[in-house]
Amino acid sequence: MNIFRLDDKITLVTGAGSGIGKAIATLFAEAGAFVGVIDRDGSAAEATTQSILASGGRSTSYTVDVADSEACLELAETIQESFGSIDILVNNAGIGHVGTLLETEGEDLDAMYAVNVRGVFNMTKAVLPDMIGAGQGNIINLASIGGVVAVRDRLAYCTTKFAVVGFTKCIALDHASEGIRCNCICPGRVETPFVKARLQEYPDPEKAYREMASTQALGRMAQPEEIAAAALYLASETSAFITGTPFLIDGGWSAGK
């Protein structure tokens, strides 16, 4: 018997149009869950859903900007009316920024905060009452190694990801008695389409790739599917005694910190 099953679980994955979110949505569907694929890029969300359906899974796509609190509430209500109580929420949607404090404007921090922190806040607040009413719920937030240790030239990004780790711990502590678990995944660098595109902006993309890969003690970046496997573990009942935990998947980045 495969213990990492999500049969008939109603799951939502934000930022699931590509990269880590798409890998999580795909794996959850393979594990038997219905997956609500959420992305502000509607065509990307629909492409993920069509891929899941073509493989025999169950999915519907939704075009939502998680920075919009009203849109998040409307989405939660729509899914609850159509499919019932939401069992699992994966807050994966996020954006990045490069720069020290002196290279970062207040507007940059606000834009990062709107998605990386308020987006997690908005989606969690939208689904939490229904989870509490059902007596159970599982929330998985995508933070970063940059939410555990400082990363050079990533001030705004790290600020928001440290906030996600703190948010995770607070949700876990405040709502454990109501049947809610909340954990976060803290990846090192992951070889996503977004990262690959950014590498092409460097004068020497291959050199930049090697430098980014070398940050991890294992000497490589993670693949999105490796992060998805951790999400499946946290989503499954196998991890029933884990809550409030930053789950590091960083290839040894933080080992010497």
Query: For 177, which DSSP code?
Result: G
Q: Is 37 helix (H, G, I), strand (E, B) or coil?
A: strand
Residue 2's pLDDT is 62
In the structure, what pLDDT confidence band is assigned to residue 79 with cuts at 50, 70 and 90?
Answer: very high
**Res 1 pLDDT > 50:** no
Nearest to 63 by CA among 92, 34, 40: 40
Q: pTM value?
A: 0.95
pLDDT per residue as tens digits for the range 92-123:
999 999 999 999 999 999 999 999 999 999 99
Could you tell me the domains of the chain? Answer: 10-187+223-249 (3.40.50.720), 191-221 (no CATH)
pLDDT per residue as tens digits for the range 125-182:
999 999 999 999 999 999 999 999 999 999 999 999 999 999 999 999 999 999 999 9
CA distance linking residue 145 with residue 59, whole number of Å: 30
CA distance linking residue 79 with residue 252, whole number of Å: 39
Nearest to 112 by CA among 151, 163, 183: 163
CA distance linking residue 122 with residue 126, whole number of Å: 6
Nearest to 21 by CA among 141, 148, 168: 141
The residues carrying an active-site annotation are: 157
Name the helix (H) or strand (E) containing 19: helix 19-30
Which residue is associated with the tokens 């409030």? Answer: 244
**Res 209 pLDDT > 80:** yes
Give the residues across from 183 on adjacent strands: 140
- Kindly report which listed range (22-36, 136-150, 205-219) carries the lowest average pLDDT score: 205-219
CA distance linking residue 138 with residue 97, whole number of Å: 29
Average pLDDT, the chain: 95
Q: What value does the mean pLDDT take over residues 195-218?
A: 87
